[in-house]
Structure 1
Amino acid sequence: MHIHILALNGVFDTGLSTILDTLSVANDLAGANSAFSTHFEVTIVGTRRHVRTSQGLSVPVVPATRCTYPDVVLIPALGAKMPETLRAALERRDVADAVELLRQWSDSGVLVGAACTGTFVLANTLLLNGQNATTSWWLAPLFRERYPLVTLEESRMVVGSSRFVTAGAALAHIDLALWLVRRSSPALAALTARFLVIEPRPSQAIFAIPDHLAHEDPLVERFERWARLRLADGFSLSGAASAAGTSERTLSRRLRAVLGKTPLSYFQDLRVERALHLLRTSSDSIDLIAAQVGYADGTTLRALLRRKIGRAVSELRIPY
């Protein structure tokens, strides 16, 4: 399988190296075991002759215009991590050139993948319109604002289809690379993950911090302030709307547009965030923690944690 890694100026160092290292380990393991016939031929390509990482390291790229079409192209993250710097980076000429290349490759049947802020470069092509995707969890509001026709599932670590694959934040680059290995050989992917000491990570939810979601919506902020003071109480949509100074319908519509959630769902996310903090920083029983975040008993909280982040309470506790 021939893979192009499209490196743009300011590429996230860890993202680029993680993809390269994961595929290299998979190749080494496949070469040492006759049971595997998979091999990944990797080329780092660029839209410019000279590319530097966000830490200033020089990247040896092959001009993309000189390369034959690959089977797969992967776009690592840009080093721009916050909305302001990312917006500016997406306006660059080299990004626009990358967008055109991605459209050409996709039209020819090339599988296109991206991770973290690289998903914004892919979404700029409009190829993700009508598709499901994920991105860096803290940039989900910005992604929804820019690409409203993409169905965003930011709690998922990897979202793949026959044409596109997107992965979440930062070290989700390794999940992106393993998804690609798994597509060729599930056994090789499992072995590679064990050598890299990586467990399956289907969700980003455990890492998400609701109040770090990058949005600039004052109505949502008012709702969040109200909610955080009432996590131990029952949820009231009318009370939330009144505190935010708006109608129930407007509050629901704004939460959906900015965060992709209902007010109740976001309220539950805040409860989960608080419960996780208490699980990791106290020795309180699960029943006591449940009461502090508004649930009648620990059984209900256990079920919510399992549904939201896919882990049991025993896996979330930090031993003292």
Structure 2
Amino acid sequence: MRIFILALDGVFDTGLTVLLDALGLANKFAAAQMGGALSFEVSIVGVRKKVKSGQGFAIPVQAIAPDSKPDWVIVPALNTGSPETLVPALGRRDVSQAMEQLRKWHAEGAHIAASCIGTFLLAEAGLLDHGEATTTWWLAPLFRQRYPNVRLDETRMLVPSGRVVTAGAAMGHLDLALWLVRKASPEVAAVVSRYLLADFRSSQAPYIIPNHLAQADPVIQRFERWARDHLKEGFSLEAAADALATSPRTLQRRCQAVLGKSPLSYFQDLRVERARSLVHGSDLDLDAIAVEVGYVDGATLGTLLRDRLGRGVRELRAELR
């Protein structure tokens, strides 16, 4: 399998090295277990002759030959963690050249993949239009507003959609590499994951910090503050809208546009976050925690925690041991 890793100036160091290490280990174990029947031929390519990482290290990129035919092209993240730095980066000349090259490879039949902020390049190039995708969770509001033709679900760790695959934030690069290896050999992928102490993860939801998402929009910020003050009460869309001096319909629209969910769903996210904090930081039993976040009994809260986080109270408390 011929894989190109497309490195741009300011590439996220960890993302690039994780991809190289995971695929390199896969080759090593495939040679030992399968006699070399599985092989990942990995090349770092660039649209510029000289590329530096986000930390300032020189990246040894190869020039892209006009007749190059990769099976897969992977776009690691840029080292730009905020909208203020990301949006200007998307307008760079080398980024535009990279997007043009990605469109060409895709049209010729190559599979394209990206993780974290690299997913923005795929969306900007139009390769995600009318398909499903995930992205780095804290920039999901920007992604959702900038690319309305993409069906975004930032709670998922990895989303295949046609010949394009997107993965989640930061260490999502590792999830992407393991997914590629697993498609070729589940046995080799299992060994690589054990050597790297990396489990196969399906969700980013346990890592999402709700108030970081709220900062993307002033109305949502005010709604978040109101919601935190009313977690013990039953949710009322009308009461929330009235407190924010807006209409229920406007609040619904803003939540959907920025967060991709209803006000009630976001309210439940805040309840889950608060409950998780109490599970970690207090000796309260589940029924007492349920009261603190507005549920009548611990069973209902326990079900919500497991649905949202994939773990129950015992597992959450065990995280701190």
Letter of the aligned partner of 1:31 in structure 2? A
1:94-173 alignment, distance < 5 Å: 94-173=94-173
Which residue of 2 is the match for residue 238 of structure 1?
Answer: 238
More deviation in 288-297 or 71-80?
A: 288-297
More deviation in 207-216 or 165-174?
A: 207-216
Does the C-alpha gap of structure 1 residues 253 and 60 become closer, same or farther in structure 2, counting only changes over 3 Å? same
C-alpha separation between the residues in 2 aligned to 1:319 and 1:139? Answer: 28
Which residue of 2 is the match for residue 204 of structure 1?
Answer: 204
User: 1:214 offset after TM fit, Å?
Assistant: 6.5
Which residue of 2 is the match for residue 296 of structure 1?
Answer: 296
C-alpha separation between the residues in 2 aligned to 1:254 and 1:288? Answer: 33
Moved over 3 A (4+): none
1:53-92 alignment, distance < 5 Å: 53-65=53-65, 68-92=68-92
Gaps of 5+ in 2: none
CA contact (8 A) 1:46 1:62 kept: yes
What TM-score does the superposition give when structure 1 sets the normalisation length?
Answer: 0.97
Equivalent pairs: percent with the same residue? 56
Which residue of 2 is the match for residue 308 of structure 1?
Answer: 308
Which residue of 2 is the match for residue 226 of structure 1?
Answer: 226
- Number of residues of Structure 1 aligned to a counterpart in Structure 2: 320
More deviation in 186-195 or 238-247?
A: 186-195
C-alpha separation between the residues in 2 aligned to 1:143 and 1:312? Answer: 31
User: 1:216 offset after TM fit, Å?
Assistant: 3.5
User: 1:95 offset after TM fit, Å?
Assistant: 0.4
Secondary structure of 1:213 counterpart: helix
Letter of the aligned partner of 1:121 in structure 2? L
Cα distance per residue 1:253-278 (max 9 Å; x no partner):
11000110100000001111111111
User: 1:319 offset after TM fit, Å?
Assistant: 4.1
Secondary structure of 2:206 counterpart: coil
1:5 aligns with 2:17: no
C-alpha separation between the residues in 1 aligned to 2:112 and 2:76? Answer: 11
Which residue of 2 is the match for residue 176 of structure 1?
Answer: 176
C-alpha separation between the residues in 1 aligned to 2:270 and 2:37? Answer: 47
C-alpha separation between the residues in 2 aligned to 1:174 and 1:199? Answer: 10
User: 1:35 offset after TM fit, Å?
Assistant: 7.3
Cα distance per residue 1:193-215 (max 9 Å; x no partner):
11111112111111111111274
More deviation in 291-300 or 43-52?
A: 291-300
C-alpha separation between the residues in 2 aligned to 1:225 and 1:186? Answer: 46
RMSD over aligned Cα atoms:
1.4
